[in-house]
Amino acid sequence: MNKNPNEDEIRPNAIDFKLKNHFSANQLRNAFVECSISVLDLLCENVQFA
């Protein structure tokens, strides 16, 4: 009876930990780069039209 609650608590934490490590390293960095590029594109367009 004691093992089941512990496993239920550990499994979501392990999944969250893996997702955070995977997404924070790759996905968030790529998203930040894409956002920076699109912001620079908007700034360049504003400068050209101004």
Total count of domains within the chain: 1
Q: Give me the mean pLDDT over the 15-33 stretch.
A: 76
For residue 7, what are the domain limits? 1-50
Q: Give me the mean pLDDT over the 25-38 stretch.
A: 87
Bigger pLDDT: 7 vs 26: 26
pTM of the model: 0.41
Residue 42 to residue 27: CA distance in whole angstroms: 22
For the chain, the DSSP string reads --HHHHHHHHHHHHHHHHHHHHIIIIIHHHHHHHHHHHHHHHHHHHHHH-
- Name the nearest CA neighbour of 25 among 13, 37, 14, 17: 17
